Amino acid sequence: MRFELTESQRLVYRAVEEFAARQVRPRAADWDREGRFPHEVIPQLAELGLLGLQVPEEYGGSGLDAVSAAVAVERIAWADGSLALTVASHNSLCTAHILLFGREEQKRRYLPRLARGEALGAWCLTEPHAGSDAAALQTRADRRGDRYVLNGTKAFVTQGSVAGVYVVLARTGGEGPGGITAFVVERGAPGLRVGKKEEKLGLRASDTAEVVFEDVEVPEENRLGAEGEGYAQAMRVLEGGRIGIGAMAVGIGRAALEAAVEYAKTRRAFGQPIAQFQAIQWMLADSAVELDAAWLLVLRAAWLVDQGLPFRKEASMAKLYASEAAHRATDRALQVHGGYGYIREYAVERYYRDVRLCEIGEGTSEIQRLIVAKAILRAT
């Protein structure tokens, strides 16, 4: 495989970086402090094609390859982790589920709306008592003639209170993964309501909420695939989502490293810039090495997607290493800043809070280690 971006991928990098530097970075701290979802930038994201990154042009999307999509998420995360999570989850979860498993009629009905930003997408898998053990979900979808009736509660739904289109995983059969089916549910469906909006440690400008289904009727035509296929579909969707989380982690980590370098050059102690001290230099060097390694893992996973090759293990490797490397990079950046890193006047405090989610979302670090271990054990 190659490790150099193509000219078209570099164009995506520069275009997204320019937008992020001009329209996102200067406002990110305010959005975080207010805990406010930035509705005002959604039309701009749509105009740039960032809400339909890998949606084919025939459905109104940008039709980008997976590497370009990862590049776009990384550059947005460099400016604001919250907005990067919005873009990543909208594209790689809800939209991707419909793109991968929807019938042609479903794709034509929903993908253009999602790509144009007329509706944001949410993906409803996790429940209060079913997180890493996703096969234990209890939301029911009981068939009644040509309709299904959904009852249950979904937790930690990204875009939960602002989405227009929800992909919902629910139980149509018995216990275990074979009894789970996916459905598309639109905002405004009678019985669908938003529950508690979460007050989070970080990524505070990303909308996270509980979504409750109380006798929500869903027509059979809104079922994605056959009954019982939902769990396998969800696992495939998560594989792609992990590449996005890895890219997001790298973007936040790089922002933290840049802030640490800038601060170390200007902060003086004992008569010289602290960048002259070996202890500081080694922290910066470790972060630079680890973030570059993380980015190469992300690019490899995305490249495999573009080649049509298996990428499950590589996506887990990328997400695992990138999230933990970025966490270390933000921790070092905060340490370089000393006491100033602990106050909101400096952005590293926000980076430190934001990056922590990357070790949890789309499967915890522990789950990623299990996936990688099982893959290498099968191969030997």
Question: What are the catalytic residues?
Answer: 362
Is residue 217 within 8 Å of residue 148, measured between CB atoms?
A: yes
User: What are the backbone dihedrals phi and psi of residue 179, each rounded to the nearest 5 degrees, phi first?
Assistant: -100, 15
Q: Which of 58, 61, 142 is nearest to 95 (CA)?
A: 61
Q: Rounded to whole angstroms, how far apart are CA atoms 167 and 121?
A: 8
Q: Which of 277, 278, 292, 280 is nearest to 341 (CA)?
A: 280
Is residue 219 within 8 Å of residue 49, measured between CB atoms?
A: no
The residue assigned the tokens 């018995």 is 174
Q: Which helix (H) or strand (E) holds 171?
A: strand 165-171
DSSP letters along 48-69, please? TTTTSTTS-GGGTS----HHHH
List helix spans (H) across 267-307. Answer: 278-307
DSSP3 helix / strand / coil % (the chain, rounded to 5): 60, 15, 25
Is residue 138 within 8 Å of residue 79, measured between CB atoms?
A: no
Gyration radius from the chain CA atoms: 21
Q: Rounded to whole angstroms, how far apart are CA atoms 182 and 166?
A: 10
Is residue 341 within 8 Å of residue 331, measured between CB atoms?
A: no
